[in-house]
């Protein structure tokens, strides 16, 4: 699942709001680490 995708499983507006939130706390650098497991076809 891609969090920023425009489909029924993702909410791009929520992701943008969530990533903008640290800016209000004067956070200027954000490191993101992600991992995923599942079938190769992504279903």
Residues 6+ apart with CB under 8 A from 28: none
Q: Are 32 and 40 in contact (CB under 8 A)?
A: no
Residue 1: what pLDDT? 59
Task: Specify the pLDDT at position 15.
Answer: 81
Question: In the chain, where are the structural domains located?
Answer: 1-43
Give Cβ neighbours of residue 15 (< 8 Å, ≥ 6 apart): 3, 4
Q: How far apart are CA 3 and CA 13, in angstroms?
A: 10
Give yes or no for residue 43 having a pLDDT over 70.
Answer: no
- The pLDDT tens digits of the residues spanning 19-35 come to 888 877 888 887 888 77
The rounded distance, in Å, linking the Cα atoms of 26 and 37 is 33
13 or 36, which is more confident? Answer: 13
**pLDDT tens for residues 1-23?**
576 777 777 778 888 888 888 87
Residue 42 binned pLDDT confidence (cut-offs 50, 70, 90) = low
């Amino acid at each position: 699942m891609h969090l920023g995708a425009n489909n029924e499983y993702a909410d791009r507006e929520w992701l943008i709001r969530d990533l903008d939130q640290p800016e209000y706390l004067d956070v200027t650098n954000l490191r993101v680490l992600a991992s995923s497991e599942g079938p190769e076809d992504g279903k």
